[in-house]
């Protein structure tokens, strides 16, 4: 195997001695915590013994990676190793894990337990750093563990001292960690994952265990299924993905020849497709960067959303409990430090940033739906921290756009099922491939007719049926030149695969009513009877019925749908037309498992947060009929030049009304006339009736 990380050898030269000294101390801690004369208070000894043992386990992995013996292990031994590394946080063990905030607090005390739980969670990142031979990250984390152990040898140690140690660990090393993370996004020479994909024997499933991620049946069975496909089938699937990416540049009239790097984000198991895609991107003049989803506290986004390559979560409750871990240390000084280092990293790497083309994403669906358990001991942002977080996210987004302007990059996104979806996995996979490659010519013609009707409208009314209480009025901005302008983009199979929607940025003033969904999954979380009240385009009230109390339900929505914003505007209104995808969901009874990417095409949907044109408002785009897309901003994004900190929310969540819950969609003209697009969940606009065939 030729697994490359650009700084591995340099880091070994610089940090091997510090690492070895730290490791020697860790071994002593493991022994010391079993002795009666240990200075650590007895209630902490089990914690330090357990964590020290884990750190030695990650060192054993590092040794096998460094001497190459890891790559000689049989599959069974690799599986045993993988299970052992993640065993502590698996659902069956999590109740008695120091990574569980409730357990840690119950044994170690409210404040100490919270900080020591955070420490262990941070140290669990050493698993992947061992596989990557990242001596810098391994060394500084061991040193942090030792520092906190030494602090607690003093019986008068206060929680604030532990907090300070973790805080300055994050802050002091930010210059290195942020520069490294930025480079991994922009620089193809950060080739750890790429080198595995390109050089491993992908028919030998041992390769999955070389990444360091948790490997479940999803990854194994996905890889097995792709190994059963022909080279031509894999080539075609990769081409759907890469051509969609290329079409995005053509659609937005961006010169792809000026770009040199594409970032691939995907779930492990799809390496056969990714290998083909890397070659196809090379033929476009693009090298590939593939970075891992964040495992260190400084890089986590506070939302629990993984960005980068990843695998099936060993425990979604663990992920949920730790999504706001930085709440234990977050303050304005820390976010200012992060922003300063982000600017320095971008400035240092501005040439790479200028040649960055954007992400190409493969999503997955089919995992067992997850409803989290609220834990009062899990970290949460207070009101002051929520404000700090929002201001940081806004400033970080603006900074990124400064060096990588939104109007100069594109993206593509496509989705495939996981084996966890059930016994019909192979059939659903094949059907998804068909959904992803529907005839664009037919849809272009039909969607052009829908857009023509919508462009005559002053507003659109949307109602629900079959228990859906939706009653919405969506206002549309007036068109000055309707013969050559449009309010709706005709979305075909380019950046957003599969095809099948027309969408706009609604006019906020005059947009009002109730949006209701009986059951929906958003970002892998379930919502029951989700109801949003809208006035002048912004959410004014909200509720669901996931939990016994209204307070718990509101908190759930605030944290996971509003992302701790006081409110969000409606950034998008769209009509999904992919009835084939809807029929697939109904036929296999997987509608509730479809990702937003596909689900949004199976009915009208409404996105809350930023518009689809965030940071791209000035970029001129045209539908296939030559009409220029005009509805690219709203009252918030219009502030981007005068009050940029108020223009964007850095989130965009689509909520879809499925056809079986949809009543009517009616376009209302300024003169009082109206035109029906959908009636009782069926397309009735002349020229669109073919969409009803799959229904």
Find the mean pLDDT for residues 135-162.
97
Q: Is 458 a residue whose pLDDT tops 70?
A: yes
Average pLDDT for the chain: 95
Kindly state the DSSP code that residue 573 receives in the 8-state scheme: E
Q: Which pairing describes strands 489-491 and 485-486: parallel, antiparallel, or unpaired? A: unpaired
User: Using CA of residue 48, residue 50, residue 54, residue 56, what is the dihedral sign?
Assistant: positive
What local confidence, expressed as pLDDT, does residue 91 receive? 97
289 contacts 261 by C-beta, under 8 angstroms: yes
Q: In this structure, is residue 127 part of a structural domain?
A: yes
Q: Are residues 330 and 365 located together in one domain of the fold?
A: yes
What is the value of pTM for the model shown? 0.93
Q: Closest by alpha carbon to 317, among 87, 46, 517, 101?
A: 101
Q: Are residues 654 and 606 located together in one domain of the fold?
A: yes
What local confidence, expressed as pLDDT, does residue 4 receive? 62
Q: Are residues 256 and 313 located together in one domain of the fold?
A: yes
Q: Are residues 138 and 198 located together in one domain of the fold?
A: no
482 contacts 455 by C-beta, under 8 angstroms: yes
Q: Are residues 404 and 509 located together in one domain of the fold?
A: no
| 497-535 confidence digits (pLDDT tens) | 999 999 999 999 999 999 999 999 898 889 999 999 999
What local confidence, expressed as pLDDT, does residue 251 receive? 86
Instruction: Please identify, among 110, 143, 158, the residue that sits at the C-terminal boundary of a domain.
Output: 158
Q: In this structure, is residue 464 part of a structural domain?
A: yes
Phi-psi domain of 366 (left: phi exceeds 0; alpha: psi -120 through 50; beta: other): left
Q: Are residues 117 and 262 located together in one domain of the fold?
A: no
Confidence of residue 2 (pLDDT cuts 50, 70, 90): low
Count up the domains in the chain and report the number: 3
Instruction: Please identify, among 414, 430, 447, the residue that sits at the C-terminal boundary of a domain.
Output: 414
Q: Closest by alpha carbon to 571, among 612, 523, 535?
A: 612
Chain position carrying tokens 């059907």: 431
| 649-690 confidence digits (pLDDT tens) | 999 999 999 999 999 999 999 999 999 999 999 999 999 999
| 188-222 confidence digits (pLDDT tens) | 999 899 999 999 999 999 999 999 999 999 999 99
Q: In this structure, is residue 420 part of a structural domain?
A: no
Element (H, E) at 414: strand 412-417
What local confidence, expressed as pLDDT, does residue 308 receive? 95
What local confidence, expressed as pLDDT, does residue 325 receive? 97
**DSSP line for 140-165:** HHHHHHHHHHHHHTSTT--HHHHHHH
Find the mean pLDDT for residues 614-623.
92
* Order of all β-strands in the sheet with 570-576: 489-491, 501-504, 570-576, 604-609, 652-656
Q: Closest by alpha carbon to 619, among 401, 394, 447?
A: 401
Q: In this structure, is residue 535 part of a structural domain?
A: yes
CA dihedral 482, 488, 492, 496 (to 10 degrees): 150
Q: In this structure, is residue 30 part of a structural domain?
A: yes
- Residue 512 CA, distance from chain mean position: 29
Find the mean pLDDT for residues 536-563.
96
Q: Is 70 a residue whose pLDDT tops 90?
A: yes
Q: Are residues 283 and 341 located together in one domain of the fold?
A: yes
Written as six digits, the tokens of 302 are 């506070």
Q: Are residues 115 and 239 located together in one domain of the fold?
A: no
Query: What's the maximum distance between 2 C-alpha atoms anywhere in the chain?
Result: 88
Q: What is the domain range of residue 483? A: 439-692
């Amino acid at each position: 195997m030729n697994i490359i990380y650009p700084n591995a050898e340099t880091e070994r030269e610089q940090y091997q001695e510090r690492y070895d000294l730290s490791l020697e101390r860790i071994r002593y801690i493991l022994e010391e915590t079993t002795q009666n004369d240990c200075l650590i208070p007895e209630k902490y000894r089990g914690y330090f013994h357990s964590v020290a043992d884990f750190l030695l386990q990650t060192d054993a992995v590092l040794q096998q990676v460094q001497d190459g013996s890891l790559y000689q292990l049989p599959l069974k031994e690799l599986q045993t190793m993988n299970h052992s590394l993640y065993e502590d946080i698996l659902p069956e063990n999590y109740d008695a894990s120091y990574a569980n905030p409730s357990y840690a607090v119950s044994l170690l005390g409210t404040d100490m337990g919270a900080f020591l739980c955070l420490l262990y969670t941070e140290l669990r990142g050493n698993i992947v750093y061992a596989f990557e031979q990242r001596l810098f990250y391994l060394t500084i984390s061991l040193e942090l563990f030792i520092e906190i152990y030494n602090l607690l040898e003093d019986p008068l140690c206060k929680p604030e001292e532990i907090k300070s140690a973790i805080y300055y660990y994050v802050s002091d090393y930010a210059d290195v960690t942020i520069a490294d993370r930025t480079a991994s996004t922009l620089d193809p020479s950060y080739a750890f994952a790429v080198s595995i994909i390109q050089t491993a024997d992908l028919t030998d499933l041992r390769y999955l265990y070389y990444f360091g991620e948790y490997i479940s049946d999803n990854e194994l069975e996905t890889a097995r299924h792709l190994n059963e496909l022909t080279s031509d089938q894999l080539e075609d699937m990769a081409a759907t993905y890469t051509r969609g990416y290329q079409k995005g540049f053509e659609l937005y009239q961006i010169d792809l020849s000026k770009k040199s790097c594409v970032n691939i984000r995907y779930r492990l198991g799809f390496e056969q497709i990714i290998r083909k895609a890397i070659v196809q991107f090379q033929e476009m003049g693009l090298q590939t960067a593939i970075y891992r989803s964040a495992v260190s506290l400084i890089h986590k986004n506070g939302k629990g959303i993984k960005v980068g390559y990843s695998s099936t979560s060993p425990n979604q409750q663990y992920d949920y409990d730790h999504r706001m871990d930085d709440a234990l240390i977050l303050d304005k000084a820390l976010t200012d430090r992060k922003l300063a280092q982000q600017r320095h990293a971008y400035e240092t790497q501005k040439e790479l940033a200028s040649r960055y083309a954007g992400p190409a994403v493969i999503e997955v669906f089919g995992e067992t739906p997850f409803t989290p358990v609220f834990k009062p001991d899990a970290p949460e942002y207070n009101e002051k921290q929520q404000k700090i977080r929002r201001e940081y996210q806004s400033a970080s987004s603006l900074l990124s756009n400064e060096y990588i302007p939104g109007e100069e990059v594109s993206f593509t996104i496509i989705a495939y099922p996981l084996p966890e979806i059930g016994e019909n996995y192979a059939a659903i996979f094949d059907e998804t491939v068909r959904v992803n490659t529907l005839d664009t010519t037919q849809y272009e013609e039909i969607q052009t007719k829908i857009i023509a009707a919508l462009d005559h409208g002053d507003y659109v009314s949307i109602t629900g049926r079959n228990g859906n209480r939706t009653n919405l009025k969506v206002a549309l901005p007036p068109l000055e030149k309707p013969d050559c302008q449009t309010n709706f983009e005709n979305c075909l199979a380019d950046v957003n695969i599969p095809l099948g929607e027309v969408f706009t940025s609604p006019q906020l003033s005059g947009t009002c009513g109730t949006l209701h969904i009986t059951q929906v999954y958003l970002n892998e979380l379930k919502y029951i009877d989700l109801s949003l009240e809208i006035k002048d385009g912004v959410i004014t009230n909200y509720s669901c019925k996931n939990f016994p109390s209204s307070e718990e339900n509101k908190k759930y929505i605030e944290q996971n749908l509003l992302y701790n914003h006081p409110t969000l505007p409606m950034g998008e209104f769209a009509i999904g037309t992919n009835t084939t995808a809807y029929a697939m969901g109904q036929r296999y009874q997987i509608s509730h498992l479809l990702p937003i990417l596909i689900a949004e095409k199976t009915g009208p949907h409404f996105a809350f947060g930023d518009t689809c044109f965030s940071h791209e408002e000035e970029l001129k785009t045209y539908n296939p009929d030559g009409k220029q897309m005009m509805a690219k901003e709203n009252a918030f994004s219009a502030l981007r030049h005068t009050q940029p900190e108020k223009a964007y929310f850095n989130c965009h969540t689509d909520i879809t009304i499925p056809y079986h819950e949809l009543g009517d969609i009616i376009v209302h003209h300024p003169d009082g006339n109206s035109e029906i697009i959908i009636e009782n969940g069926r397309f009735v606009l002349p020229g669109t009736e073919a969409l009803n065939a799959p229904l």
